[in-house]
Amino acid sequence: MCACVPYSSPERYTWSQYLNGASFTDMTEMSRVAKRPVFLGAGGKLITSENAPADLAYGDKVANDNVIARQYMATLEYELYDALRKPGISVQRAGTDVVIILVRDAIMELNIADISESGADTLGIITKILKKYPATFVEIAGYTDAMRDTNAAQALSLDMAQRVGVYMSQHGISTARMFIVGRGASRPIAAQDDIGRLTNRRVEIRLAPAR
């Protein structure tokens, strides 16, 4: 019966409990290095030789580690791509990272700031896959279209990112893996016309190998 109850974000005053352990900063190489002890202390896993392809030849450790990481992330990308063939959702590679782009209307209610029923279904799919690939850091970044009030844009983008983070935390993704940021109207991916603005309102989930 619980599966039939539509998802609703918990009250905002409880979010700090769900997001305790998350980092509210960009997921840079330096921030990942700083977070690594917390990540490992919370049971996080690193990409190691256990994840190596069976045909990996003996050789330079750094080169082999890069091969292992690329293969691990490629497998993750393919699984996400196959599972997320929905309007308003795309899965892309960025170097060794994988980026899931979720247009706001694909995961949020139209007229209120909350995750929609179809959005909860999508986030459920993503969360289930991320549990299979624990050797990854997760950056959740919210974006808006161009707004006159930059403070409002920042607040709205952070609200979207936090809601996704809360959902993931509720469904078993460790906050020790998470970086949560609101980037306002920065980094548009479409024109600021009527159609493009809908695309620019989005959440991007960037996955990076933990090693």
pLDDT band at 68 (very low <50, low <70, confident <90, very high): confident
CB-facing half-sphere around the CA of 13: CA atoms within 13 A? 0
Judge contact between 133 and 96, C-beta under 8 A.
no
In whole angstroms, give the CA distance from residue 157 to residue 91: 20
| pTM given for the model | 0.91
Q: Can you give the length of the chain in residues?
A: 211
CA distances from 90 to 175, 199, 201, 204 (A): 24, 11, 14, 10
Other Cβ atoms closer than 10 A to 96 = 16
* Residue found under tokens 């690193």: 46
Q: Average per-residue pLDDT in the chain? A: 89
Where would I find the beta strands (DSSP E) of the chain?
Answer: 89-94, 97-103, 136-143, 178-182, 202-209
* Token pair 């509210």: residue: 24
Predicted pLDDT at 54: 53
Domain 10-209 class in CATH: alpha beta
* DSSP labels, 25-52: S---HHHHHHHHHHHHHTT-----GGG-
The tens digit of pLDDT for each residue in 99-132 reads 999 999 999 998 888 999 999 999 999 999 999 9
Domain spans of the chain, in order of start: 10-209
Angle separating helix axes 117-132 and 61-83, nearest 10 degrees: 150
- Give the model's confidence band at 186: pLDDT under 50 very low, under 70 low, under 90 confident, else very high: confident
**Number of helices and strands (H, E) in the chain?**
7, 5
